[in-house]
Amino acid sequence: MDRLLRARHGLPLGVLAFFMVLDLVRPPGQVVLGLVVIAPLVAASTVGRRATAAYAALALLAAVLLGVYDRQYQPDVVAAQGIRLFGVALGGAIALVVCTLRQRRELLVRRLSVEAATSRSAVQMAEALQRSLLTDPPRVAGLELVARYVPAVQHARVGGDWYDAFATSDDSTMLVIGDVAGHDVAAAATMAQTRGVLRGIASAVVGSPAAVLSSLDRALRRLQVDTLVTVTVATLRSDLRDGTVRLCWSNAGHPPPVLVSADGDASVLQHPANLLLGVAADVPRTDHALRLEPGDTVVLYTDGLVERRSSTLDEGTAWLVRELTALAGRPLEQVCDTLLAHLPGTFEDDVAILAVRVGDGA
């Protein structure tokens, strides 16, 4: 630190000494004392305001004394000497202004660097939290479950989209796909909170997807979670008598699921969606039911998969139906990966996919 401090002061001191010596060794008629003003200007870029002010005062004092040595106070040249001294004083003042602006800029850069480091740490923590929550779905006899998540590339590497799959207390399998508004750390934190509350409700209370969503909406209000959430909750229950699976789902403002039947036809499970969470209390919510045959596939997804700036949501949904029709019969992991591969290079929203296929032994 001392060596760095000496180096910072060495440059303006050296400049001041150089021009003083230069003035002393030159003939009396060649006056260069005004060049000592360079010393405080150099100091403005290397040292602080107090030191710059000190160099400005030293430069002015040196100019006054060198004027005596150079006989610059004679009547015929005193006016020129006055102009030189004014120039040295003005240069010192300018040096102080430059030094002040430099220090403010450095302070801003340091503050922004600290904020950026803090933001990076927060994003890394949120990303780690999100990775810990968005785990592989569980293995369920008679069902194949595949999940994918890709964060928006134009925002922080975290967001509000999530999926979940878990067993409930009545031996059903619950599927969840949801989207919290936002693409930042706050959205990821709200997502984690919403996911945890939903899991707690579904584990503690035996009820339909609509009942779970109603309880979740009330719980989020009591917890003062002030954000909008779209979510689809579904349950799967196997019928051992004929190998079919009963699908029951409820939709809170979320894009509708897509069914790909065993014969390859794809269709949207289009039912009027209920209001998204966080808008109004005690909104009536409805369940929808469907019996799935062996080989049938249901794809749940977030709006980032079908939303494009260049097209409408209906056009995006129609694209998804065509893609799933073309991919019918392919391995489920390949289906999900192919859908993600068709995303544009700079998609603006998170994408989550949760797909389930009924096996022959359901």
| Domain final residue pick, 83, 113, 143 | 113
Q: State whether 103 and 163 are in the same domain.
A: no
Give the count of domains, the chain: 2
Q: What is the pLDDT of residue 112?
A: 81
Q: State whether 232 and 310 are in the same domain.
A: yes
- Asked if the structure places residue 198 within a domain, the reply is yes
- Asked if the structure places residue 118 within a domain, the reply is no
Long-range contacts from 334-343, C-beta under 8 angstroms, 24+ separation: 335/146, 335/297, 335/299, 336/146, 336/147, 336/148, 337/148, 339/305, 340/148, 340/150, 343/150, 343/305
Q: State whether 86 and 228 are in the same domain.
A: no
Q: State whether 37 and 155 are in the same domain.
A: no
Which burial class, exposed, middle or buried, applies to 297 when counting CB atoms under 10 A from its CB (0-12, 13-18, 19+)? buried
Element (H, E) at 284: none
Dihedral sign (CA 270, 276, 279, 282): positive
Angle at 217 between CA 211 and CA 222, to 5 degrees: 125
Residue 38's domain comprises 2-113
- Asked if the structure places residue 260 within a domain, the reply is yes
- Asked if the structure places residue 127 within a domain, the reply is no
List, in order, residues 6 or more apart from 239 with CB less than 8 Å away.
245, 246, 291, 362
Q: State whether 244 and 181 are in the same domain.
A: yes
Put simply, whether the predicted model's pTM sits higher than 0.75 gets the answer: no
Q: State whether 109 and 147 are in the same domain.
A: no
Dihedral sign (CA 133, 134, 138, 142): positive
List, in order, residues 6 or more apart from 38 with CB less than 8 Å away.
15, 19, 91
pLDDT one digit per residue (tens) for the chain, 362 residues: 567 767 777 888 888 888 888 888 877 666 677 888 888 888 888 888 888 898 889 888 988 888 888 888 888 888 888 888 898 899 889 989 999 998 888 888 888 877 766 666 666 665 666 666 677 888 998 899 999 988 775 555 567 889 999 998 888 999 999 999 876 777 888 888 999 999 999 988 778 999 999 999 999 999 888 889 999 999 999 987 788 999 999 999 999 999 999 999 999 998 888 999 988 878 899 999 999 999 999 999 999 899 887 788 889 999 999 999 999 989 999 999 999 998 876 666 789 999 999 987 55
Q: State whether 89 and 13 are in the same domain.
A: yes
Q: What is the pLDDT of residue 14?
A: 85
